[in-house]
Structure 1
């Protein structure tokens, strides 16, 4: 399952962007990549231009790369819980 909604960050809440806030799988191979890909296709079908999500520093982001997402080359300063640096991933 994937939960997608309006972006948490106010500067991203522009009416053209959605955010994947949670995903969960039963551990099936490539399930997370499939969820992110499906979320992006659904967002585009609804007229959205951008879908974002975050990974914590130290997470590989393999499922996002597998779904065709990319991340800017610069790391994002963390402002979330636990003061963990997070990386912004975008599907455009």
Structure 2
């Protein structure tokens, strides 16, 4: 994996997380799920390959992309966590009525 490959990967992930925010805002959960799976696949090289360290402008670009990805993650959690909490609180009730 080259330095350019690393930046390309993070740019791709940042773009997908942007789309995930849009999907979450519009309650497009099928689209969200598809993007989530694509994002995981795109990030898999960070788990299986040695990602080279970045320096200079490349390092700053990587940091900026990571900040964008984290901001998108925060926005997604802001949208989905209340729904997930509500869902989990209802699940025991529905089981009790079975």
Structure 1 length normalisation: TM-score? Answer: 0.30
User: More strand per residue: 1 or 2?
Assistant: 1
State which structure, 1 or 2, has the greater radius of gyration over its C-alpha atoms: 2
Structure with bigger RCO (C-alpha 8 Å, 6+ apart) = 2
